[in-house]
Amino acid sequence: MPIPEQRDLDATRGILAPWFAAHFGATDVEVGPIQGPALTGFSNETLLMDATYTPADGGARRTEGLVVRVKPTGHTVFLESDFEWQYRVLEILGTQTDVPVPVVRGFEADPSILGAPFFVMDRIDGCRVPADAPSYNATGWIHDDATPAQRRTLVESGLDQLVKIHALDWRALGLGFLDKPQYGARGFEQQLRYYEASYEWAARGEDQPVVGAALEFCRENAPGDRELTVCWGDARINNQLFDDDYHVRAVLDWEMVTLADPMMDLGWWCFLDRHFHEGMDQPRLDGFPTREEMVAYYAATSGRALHDLDFYEVFAGLRFGVVMIQIKNLLVEFGLAPADSDMGRTNAVTRVVAELLGLPDPTASASELASEPGRMDRS
């Protein structure tokens, strides 16, 4: 989600050049123009650039594409950013597993350099990512250029990476630091308590009928944990880079990485699919797998027995709903939405959550809502 650009990009080039020199063992570093679009992200500030330098061994000058991710400070989407964790996860996955992630080049904890901690990773060129807005199923390369077979390949390749992530041995990889015992026992209890706290933080005492109902449903219907795996957290094709053959080249955006039942990731994947289709009133593109086909593909590829998936879709709606409430808060703070904006209550996310729970459509008109009784099935 975009926010107005706050950084002097030309000054940032001058700051980063000596940092690259010191950390890359390079001399004569020149940082090219930074692609800081007019709008940049809430969850992380992302800066893209080329750096040209002479290696310390005196070899020929080279140019590399780099990405700098800067920790959000005053305006954040998540209750806790766990920023350094993202870097540590990328470093571990990139060096000890076959999960395709960007190569990380260094972490800087000192906030005095760019105003906040940051880390650097290689830019992966020649790939494409399915767009959020406008959505990939309404326009763009998947909509306009892909054949039905290529669309299926893309989704199945994305699911292959989810299976690969869930097969990791998090203990052997040293990923135990993802535990948050302050929120309770590792597993669903911890996840629920974290999102309870996040809901209170984002809602700021305001009534949130749909997201509040989802929270109550999750409290009353919480399943037992079957297993704990690494969960990517934001599992969707929009966070994957694809090559020209519609296969995944990299798995991105690990802000929500955690340890949980793998059904939490699969539920998020399915909910986001609903969000981009039913929530946005977009027809399913020819060749794009249905929810049932995606779930069956994951089950067959992973060898896992699925369980409680309907529940985990509602839980995904709770999590995404909390994010949307906080995004509304930030848009108001930046003057991009009026103070009385109802965006946190009425959006594509709450629309899908309401459908899952048998509640009235929050995006419908008042007259439509009056004729729709609304019911939450807790069976």
Residues 191 and 263 in one domain: yes
Pick from 130, 124, 52: nearest CA to 90? 124
- Do 145 and 62 share a structural domain? no
Report yes or no on 253 lying in a domain: yes
Check: CB of residue 235 under 8 Å from CB of residue 266.
yes
Domain assignment of residue 136, yes or no: no
pLDDT digits (tens, 9 = 90+) for 199-233: 999 999 999 999 999 999 999 999 988 999 999 99
Number of domains in the chain: 2
What's the CA gap between 183 and 192, in Å, rounded?
Answer: 8
Q: What is the pLDDT of residue 36?
A: 61
* Whether pLDDT at 297 is above 80: yes
Give the residue carrying structure tokens 């779930």: 295
300-351 pLDDT tens trace: 999 999 999 999 999 999 999 999 999 999 999 988 899 999 999 999 999 9
- Using the predicted structure, report yes or no on whether residue 375 has a pLDDT greater than 80: no
State residue 371's pLDDT score. 38
Q: Per the domain annotation, does 379 fall within a domain?
A: no
CB 30 within 8 A of CB 51: yes
Report d(CA 103, CA 100) in Å as an integer. 9
Residues in contact with 123: Cβ distance below 8 Å, sequence separation at least 6, in sequence order: 48, 64, 65, 66, 67, 102
With a pLDDT cut of 90, the percent of the chain lying above it is 83
Q: Decide if pLDDT at 64 tops 50.
A: yes
76 lies in some domain: yes
Beta strand 45-55 with 26-31 is antiparallel
Structural domain containing residue 103:
2-122
Task: Grade residue 373 by pLDDT with cuts at 50, 70 and 90.
Answer: very low
CATH code: domain of residue 175: 3.90.1200.10
pLDDT at 229: 97
User: Is residue 187 domain-shared with residue 232, that is, in the same domain?
Assistant: yes
Give me the pLDDT at residue 98, please: 97
Per-residue pLDDT band for 374 (boundaries 50, 70, 90) equals very low
pLDDT of residue 308: 97
Asked if residue 373 is part of any domain, the answer here is no
Share of the chain above pLDDT 70, in %: 92
> Which of 63, 89, 122 is where one domain is finished?
122
Task: Please report, for the domain that includes residue 30, its CATH number.
Answer: 3.30.200.20
pTM of the predicted protein model: 0.92
Residue 285 shares a structural domain with residue 340: yes
One domain, residues 218 and 316:
yes
Residues 17 and 79 in one domain: yes
Residues 101 and 148 in one domain: no
d(C-alpha 206, C-alpha 334), whole Å: 19
Q: What 3-state DSSP class applies to 68?
A: strand
- The Cα 24–Cα 11 span in angstroms is 20
Q: What is the pLDDT of residue 81?
A: 79
Structural domain includes residue 132? no
Judgement on whether residues 113 and 145 belong to the same structural domain of the protein = no
Any idea what the Cα angle at residue 201 is, between residues 196 and 204, rounded to 5°?
A: 115
Same domain, 70 and 162: no
